Amino acid sequence: MMANYAMAFDYKLCINCHACEVACKEENGIDLGAKNHRLWIDEDGETEGDFWNLARDKITFIQMQCQECQDAPCLKACPNGAIYIDDNGIVRLYKEKCDLTLACMKACPYDARYIDEKNAITDKCIFCADTRLARGETTTACQITCPAKLRYFGDLDDEESEISKILRERKHFTLKPELGTKPKLFYLE
Amino acid sequence: MSVEVSRRKFLQGSVALSVAGASAISATNLFSSEHASNKHQPTDSRIPSTITTKTGTGEAVEVATLCEMCVNKCAALARVENGVITKLNPNPMFPKSKNMLCPRGNAGIQAAYDPDRLKYPMIRTGEKGKGQFKRVTWDEAYDAILNGTDKFPGLAKILEEEKDNRSSMLFCAGEGMAEHTFKQFYQAFGSSNWLNHASLCLQTVVSGYGVTLGGYPQSDLDNAEYIIMAGANRAEAIVTPDTMDCFKRTKGRGAKLVCVDPRFTNTAAKADKWLAIKPGTDLAFVLALTYVVFTEELYNKKYVANYFNGLEDYKNSVITNKYTPEWAEKITGIKAKDIYTIAREFMMHAPKAIYYPGRRSTFATNDFQLRRAQAIFQALGGGIDTKGGLIFGKKLKLGKHEGLEPLYARAEARAVSKKDHPKKGESGYDDCAIVSGGGSWIAWRNRYLEDRMPYKVRGMFCYKHNPMMNMPNTKKTAQMLKKMDLVVTIDTMPSDTVMYADVVLPECTYLERTDPVKTFGGVEPSIAVRNKVIDPLFETKPVRDILRGLTEKISKPLFEITKKYDEDVQDELEDSDEAEVYAEFDLTLPFEGTQEEVNHHMVASVYGEEAAHKLHKDGVFYPDMDKFYKKIGANEHQYYPEKEKAYSVRGGKPKTPSGKVECNIANLASKGVDPMPVWKDEYNFKVEEGKFRLLTGRHAQFTQSGTSNNSMLHDLIMTNFIWINQRVADKKGIKFGDMIEVSSKTGSTRLKAYPTEKIGPDTLFFIHGFGEESSELTWAYKNGGNDNAVIEDVVEPVYGAAAMHETNVEIRKV
């Protein structure tokens, strides 16, 4: 079974509760520790002015994780050829080839990777590829648990998939498009 | 639009609450080496060796259960691999939680595998409160409860000395599905002293709406066009389905949300409009909204004509008292023009407009009147029992099961102290006007400490309840626990309260037990069940099994004492066989059979065998589920078709005995309570120079002290911080992370500073549930500040609820 997996975020719905982060850690056995996470929520924007006159429209919560670049800087940067794109269009790692040069971490413009000390590799979101998808499920841990129901996960190559439809219907953007990395994570306006 | 992406290192969760650069727990193996002593060594192959366990691709069992990380009871599907719970996923079939699990729900695994859990029964060996215990067998623990040890008396001695006054034992419990099971023990035991979370929780809101509308309604946030959310923080204090329904529709997506809060919360961030308000003045805000509605005649005339009692009285009161928006601006800090606009917009959208009732603790002493004013304001728009408004909904029936409530002649009535000669229009009780089922915790505690009890209360049973952390004035609670001759706690964790126990009975967590089946009313009613996911770990047991074992031990010996003192029983024994008489006093009866059998019967007797099996398997059942339930998208399911939803079940008619909205309640006046909501000068927000009003509350990653030792949640939020206004902090030279001592007449606590403009210059805030003193808690011990060490025990006058936001404090940098 092959697919071209992607994710879209109705990002303005986020309430910054971190259910996605916990679900991801439990599903994928991620170590505790503030720096260890495959996904996180970025609190963007600050309040301005004093308390009784607080300007606050700029505050947004942004879902952050590997952007699944189709032209992935990490893949190109790895001196060991440890990074590849799998049959489902997901940027993956040959664990045995990784010797922690950290070139991928430095190359990633989205800061999506961290060091997984337990396995001595650099790790990042892989859409639950070796857990849920490997079991034949078609959801990710973060998508299914989200209280705001803002995550759409699916196959871009299937025109009838919900994500394909929603990307046809709604305006969206990608992060740092100027870098030409062609992310497959889409933020819905 | 484009989004600036900052670096991960600076992104440790919510800036408001977590620490940048907090020290991480790097250990992958919780149960070994650096973390603690040998108590953490796993001896059971069913306990995972690491905190998180990557889910596998092999064989797995899926069990439908209900979450107990907070009071919501969202539905979950537990994945079990080789006897280990590796993942909790949302159960899509439950209309209440609609296929979601919040961060706490996801972290439930860590409650089961918490290395600090109570693992076996213990009895006290050292000084009370020092947490010195010895491990015993269940039988030894039960025996100690009956016969005592050299350190404390048992039930036999206490009841003998109190001549079978069963009320000499207090029973108290926290919220939960098995609270019912414990309450059956209380009823069979025959005490009149029951205290639960209500007076520390939602007593005043439930009662305020109860006497006004005849019930505590739910909110149809899925269809409302206009929502006022005042003093409720649904983006952080998650409630299902409210949180899910509300925020998907704000900001131009169908509903306008007005948030009123003395803090800039995540709810404020997600709202269309946020109004800062002075703490405790919401009642003035509602009265002014009502004033606009009356003077501009914006109310729903047809609804008011059909379903209001005392409208003219209330209208006169609001108008002659001149509760104008200009008046309210001075009291609340909310601009008069905003009040006019909101009143008009609300009524324009009514009945699809909601003044959100909320379900929080009592904050101000006027809370009961606030809730009455909210309910009346809501009803003026006609938004009662209708789509997009407040709804009563439908509830599915369940079968009955046997309880036992024997009558003991020597059991005294509830230990409330009545006034000797109450004046007309005065409360008949010392502490509050009305004594509710759940009682007034702090009034009871204080009365007990001051020896103002009508008889001796000698001991207490405490189930899933943490009085040391959950109520104002921790010092007094400690004194109360020390003064009790016999304290028995049933809990999963070595909480601060457990440290004061004489006998500790370890319960298993919610993932290791089946609880009483429950029916969930609403627009989309259903029945749901918490199934046991794994067998209890260590020597723990479900509370039902604990109580079965305990009652088998104590029932007959205690009956012997009853025989000695109870004249009625003595009379009965003259005419009847002892076995026959004893059957009425056999405490073991409510705990016969397994919970699974009881649940099966309660469902099968109404809906048939197949329904009972389906419920067990799916975790959720409602009639026609096969027909109605379907997946309609990755993130959406249909539970009921639109025409089957129970938006309106009484045609808008309130549930009060009169069938009307009660504006003016004479019965309240006879108890010394204002019959209509009015403002009083004493409600004005006042803080002395140099002091601050202390606010407390919740957020999405913790549920009070119950989750304070959860390793996963602790990883998200390392500690609690005290919010202090940025400009005030600058003036005082306080910077982010500085240690602050907060003190009041009650006591003091210490925690780190978070200067921000998200809070006003005369208020402070920190999250409840931190700063525990039990050294048995690896993550929670002395972590952050305990609000209840500082909050004064102010008793709300109507129901005796604890008013949490009435304390002014001082701070200093230490």
The CA-to-CA distance between both ends of chain B, in Å, stands at: 45
Residues in chain B within 8 Å Cβ distance of A154: 634
Q: Confidence class of residue B42 from pLDDT cuts 50, 70 and 90?
A: low
Mutate to test the interface with A, among B267, B330, B635 (most CBs of A within 10 A): B635
Q: Which pLDDT score, from 0 to 100, does residue B425 have?
A: 64
Nearest to B789 by CA among B745, B752, B755, B754: B745
Q: Give yes or no for residue B657 having a pLDDT over 90.
A: yes
Q: Which pLDDT score, from 0 to 100, does residue B798 have?
A: 95
Q: Confidence class of residue B182 from pLDDT cuts 50, 70 and 90?
A: very high
Q: Give yes or no for residue B39 having a pLDDT over 60.
A: no
Interchain proximity A152–B635, CB inside 8 Å: yes
Letter string b/e over residues A33-52, b meaning 16 or more CB atoms within 10 A of that residue's CB: bbbbbbbbbbbbbebeeebe
| Secondary structure element (H or E) that encloses residue B733, with its range | none
Residues in chain A within 8 Å Cβ distance of B102: 17, 19, 147
| Secondary structure element (H or E) that encloses residue B705, with its range | none
Interchain proximity A44–B244, CB inside 8 Å: no
Average pLDDT, chain A: 94
Q: Bridge partners of B373? A: none
Judged by average pLDDT, the poorest of A30-44, B199-213, B474-488 is A30-44
Interchain proximity B251–A12, CB inside 8 Å: yes
Distance CA B545, CA B482 (A): 28
pLDDT tens digit sequence for B142-158: 999 999 999 999 999 99
Residues in chain A within 8 Å Cβ distance of B716: 18, 21-22
Q: Which pLDDT score, from 0 to 100, does residue B6 have?
A: 42
Distance CA B751, CA B809 (A): 14
Nearest to B503 by CA among B752, B139, B242, B184: B139
Residues in chain B within 8 Å Cβ distance of A32: 24-26, 51-52, 711-712, 715
Q: B613: Cβ–Cβ under 8 A, 6 or more apart, which residues?
A: none
Distance CA A184, CA A70 (A): 7
Q: Confidence class of residue B427 from pLDDT cuts 50, 70 and 90?
A: low
Q: Confidence class of residue B424 from pLDDT cuts 50, 70 and 90?
A: low
Mutate to test the interface with A, among B19, B29, B54 (most CBs of A within 10 A): B54
Minimal Cβ distance to A32: which of B25, B56, B103:
B25
Interchain proximity A21–B105, CB inside 8 Å: no
Q: Bridge partners of B65? A: B76
H helices present in B527-594, as ranges: 543-565, 567-575, 578-583
Q: Which pLDDT score, from 0 to 100, does residue B114 have?
A: 96
pLDDT tens digit sequence for B473-494: 999 999 999 999 999 999 999 9
- The domains found in chain B, sorted by start residue, are 203-393+650-669 (3.40.228.10), 686-813 (2.40.40.20)
CB B205 within 8 A of CB B367: yes
A132 interfaces chain B, CB cutoff of 8 Å: yes
Q: Give yes or no for residue B26 having a pLDDT over 80.
A: no
Q: Which pLDDT score, from 0 to 100, does residue B739 have?
A: 98
pLDDT tens digit sequence for B428-471: 677 888 888 889 999 999 999 999 999 999 999 999 999 999 99
Strands (E), chain A: 5-9, 39-44, 60-65, 83-85, 91-93, 114-116, 121-123, 151-155, 172-173, 185-188
Q: Which pLDDT score, from 0 to 100, does residue A1 have?
A: 62
pLDDT tens digit sequence for B167-178: 999 999 999 999
Distance CA B622, CA B628 (A): 10
Q: Give yes or no for residue B188 having a pLDDT over 60.
A: yes
For residue B689, the tally of other CB atoms under 10 A from its CB is 5
Distance CA B495, CA B718 (A): 19
Nearest chain A Cα distance for residue B192, angstroms = 42
Q: Give yes or no for residue A140 having a pLDDT over 80.
A: yes
Q: Give yes or no for residue B255 having a pLDDT over 80.
A: yes
Q: Give yes or no for residue B270 having a pLDDT over 70.
A: yes
Cα–Cα distances in angstroms (integers) from residue A109 to residues A66, A73, B15, B303, in the given order = 10, 8, 22, 60
Residues in chain B within 8 Å Cβ distance of A26: 52-53, 86-88, 106-107, 109, 712
Task: Give the HSE-up count for residue A163: Cα atoms under 13 Å, Cβ half-sphere.
Answer: 23
Q: Confidence class of residue A2 from pLDDT cuts 50, 70 and 90?
A: confident
CB A149 within 8 A of CB B248: yes
Size of interface A-B (CB pairs under 8 A): 211
Nearest chain B Cα distance for residue A185, angstroms = 13
CB B446 within 8 A of CB B476: yes
Distance CA B324, CA B337 (A): 11
Q: Specify the CATH number for A5-45+59-180; select among 2.40.50.180, 3.90.420.10, 3.40.50.300, 3.30.70.20.
A: 3.30.70.20
Q: Tell me what ipTM this predicted complex has.
A: 0.96
Local structure of B90: helix, strand or coil: strand
Nearest to B146 by CA among B557, B673, B525: B557
Local structure of A63: helix, strand or coil: strand
For residue B166, the tally of other CB atoms under 10 A from its CB is 24
Distance CA B273, CA B388 (A): 20
| Secondary structure element (H or E) that encloses residue B18, with its range | none
How does DSSP assign B428-461, residue by residue? SBSS-S---TT--HHHHHHHHHTT--SS---EEE
Judged by average pLDDT, the poorest of B11-20, B658-667, B747-756, B804-813 is B11-20
Q: Confidence class of residue B17 from pLDDT cuts 50, 70 and 90?
A: very low
Minimal Cβ distance to A189: which of B1, B240, B760:
B1
CB A59 within 8 A of CB A67: no
Q: Give yes or no for residue B20 having a pLDDT over 50.
A: no
pLDDT tens digit sequence for B554-606: 999 999 999 999 999 999 999 999 999 999 999 999 999 999 999 999 999 99
Phi first, then psi, for residue B286 (nearest 5°) are -65, -40
Nearest to A112 by CA among A80, A156, A70, A68: A68
The pLDDT > 90 percentage for chain A reads: 86
Residues in chain A within 8 Å Cβ distance of B711: 32
pLDDT tens digit sequence for B194-203: 999 999 999 9
Say which residue, B29 or A68, is predicted with more confidence: A68
A15 interfaces chain B, CB cutoff of 8 Å: yes
Local structure of B415: helix, strand or coil: coil
Judged by average pLDDT, the poorest of A28-42, A143-157, B773-787 is A28-42
Task: Give the HSE-up count for residue B490: Cα atoms under 13 Å, Cβ half-sphere.
Answer: 29
B10: tokens are 């600076």
- In one-letter notation, the amino acid at residue B281 is T
A1 interfaces chain B, CB cutoff of 8 Å: no
Q: What is the DSSP letter of B708?
A: T
Distance CA B595, CA B213 (A): 35
Average pLDDT, chain B: 93
Distance CA B561, CA B555 (A): 10
Q: B478: Cβ–Cβ under 8 A, 6 or more apart, which residues?
A: B129, B468, B500
pLDDT tens digit sequence for A7-18: 999 999 999 999
Nearest to B461 by CA among B505, B418, B508, B419: B505
